Amino acid sequence: MSTPNEPWGNTVDVEFEDDIAFVFFNRPEKKNCMSPALNREMYATLHTLELDERCKVVVLTGRGEAWSAGMDLKEYFRETDNKGDAFKMHTRDESQAWQQIKLRFHAKPTIAMVNGWVFGGAFTPLTSCDLAISSDDATYGVSEVNWGIIPGGNVTKVLADTIGQRNALYYIMTGETFQGPKAAQMGLVNESVPADQLKARVVELAKELMKKDPVVLRSAKEVFKRIGAMDWDTANDYIYAKSDGAILRSGGEFRNGAMKAFLDDKKLKPGLDTYDKEDK
């Protein structure tokens, strides 16, 4: 249960386990559809977890039978029909703030643990997570064409960037669904595993990420997410600057220890192992 100092507890919930913060879409009765209230609570939750020492990795998942079934059609469309453009722009900005800014560039590593339905607008936070592990029986769909609109919330953009033109257009134009193994085959998620193995695999992956230098890990993912829009020379300069900055901010202890273990002590094979700073 959250305390008054914690921003979650209503449409978003958090459980801490072995330095992992499991962040839940918490509207199971609505298949975890995203609402304006959820957007605000999710932003505040992710912001708080960046500084929470109980959290080294964020896992985004859903209560009940859905990861998230996308945008709440009633709250986003029917109830905003008469609110005017300013209100609609405000709700759109709140959605983008946590999905495409706070989650995409979160200070901690992020993993989507996909446990059920994923529809429409849910593709944006899914692809904003650094990594994603799916249950085999998770069901994905870009169904907007079935009821007369086009995918919104940058869903088309993230699908084009993640699964490519042919796959993206097929599902955007047909509205057909697909399951976890197909999502993995197309690169939408990293892996698809049986439902009863989902959490164990996510925890295993989270613990592997925890072995890395957290400052370097954050810089590595930020570099990757930003260089796609850069030319080669700009990207090269940016990578060197981020590398120098990461070493400076981390103090270089992890790097120096790994170099010693590899070059002097002959105890580390960096292409195969992660340096263990506790193994002096």
* Residues whose CB falls within 8 Å of the CB of residue 150, separated by 6 or more in sequence, listed in order: 144, 156, 172
Is the pLDDT at 263 greater than 80, yes or no?
no
170 is catalytic: no
Catalytically annotated residue among 144, 171, 180, 275: 144
pTM for the full predicted model: 0.89
pLDDT (tens digit, 9 = 90+) per residue, 139-181? 999 999 998 888 887 899 999 999 999 999 999 999 999 999 9
pLDDT in the model for residue 79: 47
102 and 178, same domain (yes or no) = yes
pLDDT in the model for residue 266: 73
Catalytically annotated residue among 43, 76, 140, 275: 76
How many domains is the chain partitioned into structurally?
Answer: 2
121 is catalytic: yes
148 and 232, same domain (yes or no) = no
126 and 251, same domain (yes or no) = no
189 and 98, same domain (yes or no) = yes
81 and 149, same domain (yes or no) = yes
Catalytically annotated residue among 70, 120, 121, 141: 121
Return the CATH number at 65: 3.90.226.10
58 and 159, same domain (yes or no) = yes
63 and 123, same domain (yes or no) = yes
90 band by pLDDT with thresholds 50, 70 and 90 = very low
71 is catalytic: yes
Pick from 89-93, 127-131, 208-212, 230-234: least confident: 89-93
Catalytically annotated residue among 50, 240, 245, 251: 240
132 and 255, same domain (yes or no) = no
195 and 227, same domain (yes or no) = no
Nearest to 202 by CA among 50, 60, 31, 29: 60
Pick from 8-12, 96-100, 228-232: least confident: 96-100
Q: Which domain holds residue 244?
A: 214-264
Is residue 7 situated within a structural domain?
A: no
205 and 234, same domain (yes or no) = no
81 band by pLDDT with thresholds 50, 70 and 90 = low
17 and 147, same domain (yes or no) = yes
6 is catalytic: no
